[in-house]
Structure 1
Amino acid sequence: MSEVEFERWENGQSGYVTHSDPSKLTAEFVATFNRLRFEEWQQQVQIMLRQPDKYADYTPKHFPVYVGACYDKSEGWVRLHEFEVIRTLAGIPEHIAITQRLFNKRPQSGYVPAVGGWTGNRYIQGSLAGQFKPD
């Protein structure tokens, strides 16, 4: 893998939930991942609001919603889900949700992932580990 290919692969996956087997990245799985992150984010915001002396006027107002993606050697990272589908399934209010990916590709037509799965995303392996398990 060349340096350019590595950068495209590594940096291009930011804002995506990925897995070596993309069939495991169902919309329900990715939505659950986002819902768990959102619940944790809400708790963190409440802690900040209870400590105005520490956080002053700063209050996070937007929450980044991640979509599933798979890597295609010719196209790079390709989204597996639409942002609105994942946001709605996760129950994240529209006025708070933002996309991490403004210029990503449309989902693959006809792609129907299998049920279950787990993400290689470092965040879920850390603070959310144990809260959501694959089938």
Structure 2
Amino acid sequence: AEADVPYAAIGRAVSIKVDAYKDRNFGGTVSAVNPAIDPNSRSATVEALIENGDNALRAGMFISANITREGGTPGVFVPKAAVAADPTTQSYRVFVIQDGLAHLKVVQLGNEEGDFQQILSGLTGDETVATSNLDQLFEGAKVVS
């Protein structure tokens, strides 16, 4: 899910469960993270190198993967490019895109993780945010994706 993207970092541990081996876990590490989010599924592609010395894992098997969140900060994260400083009010703002319109949200910032910024208040985590042309957006502006 999009909210999990900040935890998908190269080198993080991955645990794999396979339907065919219900009593066995496979381990590995994240080897690549596609920076693009799929607009339909709101997910990102993550590649991992999995330990498979006995060749038990086969192409086409259904798996469940969990990325270890150790060292990560829980919460709502958005790309840093989505956050704009407002010097007039000394606050930070994010434009949420809903039904093709931009809506201004004032947010409180938390920690940074890589290219992502934690949002402590102002967003729920289910929103779609604008990441470009922020200086041209205003409340109610039409947005074409």
What TM-score do you get using the length of structure 1 for normalisation? 0.24
Structure (1 or 2) with the greater helix fraction: 1
What TM-score do you get using the length of structure 2 for normalisation? 0.23
Which of 1 and 2 has greater Rg? 2
Structure (1 or 2) with the greater strand fraction: 2
Q: Larger relative contact order (C-alpha < 8 A, sep ≥ 6)?
A: 1
